[in-house]
Structure 1
Amino acid sequence: MELQGICHKMHAGLCNLSVTDQHIQQANVEYKFILDRSEIDLPFSLGEDIEIEWTGKIICVSCGNKTNKSFSQGHCFKCFKTKASCDMCIMKPETCHHHLGTCREESFAQSVCFQPHIVYLANSSALKVGITRFGQMPTRWLDQGATQALPIMQVGSRRLSGQLETMFGAQVADKTDWRKLLKGEAAPIDLLEIRDNLLEEFAPQIQEIRDEFSMNLDFNENVEILEQELPREFIYPVAHYPEKVKSHNLDKTPIIRGKLNGIKGQYLILDTGVINIRKYTGYELKIRS
């Protein structure tokens, strides 16, 4: 079988949702490939030999023009410099500058930045704190390869969620070690206990942030603590983890081959190395199995 098209990050969804004796929601993760913005069932199975070829063509995911190099996961240089989705505040939401009148795109701010956001704890390579739009649960966790996740707070804007993430970041990392992620499952963590400890420790700072953002009359800036949320557990389709993680690079080696041993986060785990599919957003790929 051969498929060809412009690559986008894989779509991760849940199936076989269940609740264990500990009242933890558990589900299996399943994936679909997205080529030319169309979802397709995976054209291969675990244990199958596959081949991925980059044709040398890159199409900007924003303007649709051909580009020689990809910036910020699939953008041409012009869009990278002008689109709000490529601004620094996407990586560091606490630096959002809409209130200063310097946002690149008002429509983007309204549809993304001023939507309800969740502050969460997750366990991927280890404990981390993160943020995501309310509608991006559980996608954000699955893209990061988290095996556990727990929403702990809900707020009305991206900037506010970023400030809370930065605050908790004094005690909890906000990054995932992708090599550890791909070498095995992280040891289980009691996220409920950690949540309670963090909320108690940072109660004065949370109140200060509440007071600061309560002055914003244009948007709902309430800070809600999600005390009733339960931890989620995710099971990824992985048959074998590598002992040593080696990363494939299509820019250097346009054709890669290997036996598929698993999928976790946005990574295909082959017996010859791993490849981050999201990294090649905008690339035209041929996939053979």
Structure 2
Amino acid sequence: MIDGGLIDVAPSQQGCLSKMAIAPGDAGGPVRYTLRAGEHRLDLNARLGKPLRLRWTGAIACTHCGRATRKSFAQGYCYPCFKTLAQCDTCIVKPETCHFDAGTCREPEWAERHCFQPHVVYLANSSGLKVGITRGTQVPTRWLDQGAIQALPILRVETRQQSGLVEMLFKEQVADRTNWRAMLKGEIEPLDLLAERDRLLSRLEGGLGQLRQRFGADTLRMLDEVLVSFDYPVLEFPRKIVSHNFDKQPEVAGTLLGLKGQYLILDTGVINLRKFTGYEVRVS
């Protein structure tokens, strides 16, 4: 059945999971979620308050090469791809360790397309104040994937390595991770991110100045952006976090109560679908 451009998943349809497609709501409405299982699409906002069942078939396919794999590495890759792809290198999660200039990058052409692109350093409120980095093209997707209720871009830099070095400075003052359990409980209070930005920039003025001297005055540019807020489609937040895991329990079922970050919130527990990218599931 086709409705608004989405192919609704019929009973017993199956496919390999991708991370949920998330988009800001229209006119300040709730964030929109779409489940992706192979070629099939399901409007999850329309399923709120209704039963949902996902059953893992036992099969996993690498999201890069498509080969079958007994175990998923780095959220969706087979072991050969995990060991050879630049996007699976540790410098992706620790950009300050970039080794492109040393000539040891696994895929220099891939790096030029992804790492040598403008990146944004931002503050967000997902489980409290945090700093983060993302490619400019991933705004606001990155914030939605993290379940942020507020976000504020503060700096634009020229490369991923530079964004990692800036983030290291901020990590001396503020967290860089989301407490997913706190995020899912829905008890996060709004913050004055503009005031937090000014406070942090004042404290880190010396370190940021040193980076400008190293890379050039124009490589770290201040941004004058407005604060962005998001409303997630949640009927009821869980009082106690119970986490589902396909590796331990192949069937996950319950009434869909909410969606936040890359999590489904069911009356039986929560599940991070991004963690199971490449897992083949039957959806009903």
TM-score range, shorter chain: over 0.9
The one-letter code sitting in structure 2 at the alignment partner of 1:8 is S
TM-score by length of 1: 0.91
Q: How far apart are residue 265 of structure 1 and its match?
A: 0.2
Aligned counterparts of 2:133 and 2:45: Cα–Cα separation in 1: 32
Unaligned runs of 5+ in 2: 1-9
Q: Tell me, what secondary structure is at the counterpart of 1:258?
A: strand
Q: Tell me, what secondary structure is at the counterpart of 1:121?
A: strand
Match of 1:223 in 2: 220
What is the root-mean-square deviation in Å for CA atoms of aligned residues?
A: 1.5
The equivalences for 1:1-289 within 5 A come to: 1-2=10-11, 3-18=13-28, 28-36=30-38, 39-42=41-44, 45-214=47-216, 222-226=219-223, 228-288=224-284
Match of 1:24 in 2: none
- After superposition, the C-alpha distances for 1:20-46 in whole angstroms (9 at most, x for unaligned) are xxxxxxx53101122226654339511
Q: Tell me, what secondary structure is at the counterpart of 2:148?
A: coil
Q: Tell me, what secondary structure is at the counterpart of 2:25?
A: strand
Aligned counterparts of 2:253 and 2:43: Cα–Cα separation in 1: 20
Unaligned runs of 5+ in 1: 19-26, 216-220
- After superposition, the C-alpha distances for 1:108-155 in whole angstroms (9 at most, x for unaligned) are 101110111000000001100000000100000000000000000000
The one-letter code sitting in structure 1 at the alignment partner of 2:258 is G
- After superposition, the C-alpha distances for 1:250-274 in whole angstroms (9 at most, x for unaligned) are 0111011111110000000001100
- After superposition, the C-alpha distances for 1:187-234 in whole angstroms (9 at most, x for unaligned) are 11000001011111111110100111129xxxxx711001x2011000
Aligned counterparts of 2:161 and 2:250: Cα–Cα separation in 1: 39
Q: How far apart are residue 279 of structure 1 and its match?
A: 0.6
- After superposition, the C-alpha distances for 1:239-259 in whole angstroms (9 at most, x for unaligned) are 101111010010111011111
The one-letter code sitting in structure 2 at the alignment partner of 1:107 is E
Q: Tell me, what secondary structure is at the counterpart of 1:78?
A: helix
Aligned counterparts of 1:214 and 1:11: Cα–Cα separation in 2: 37
CA contact (8 A) 1:44 1:50 kept: no
TM-score by length of 2: 0.93
Aligned counterparts of 2:139 and 2:234: Cα–Cα separation in 1: 22
**Aligned in 2, Cα 1:265/1:29: closer, same or farther, shift over 3 Å?**
same
Matched residues, number:
274
Aligned counterparts of 2:187 and 2:102: Cα–Cα separation in 1: 43
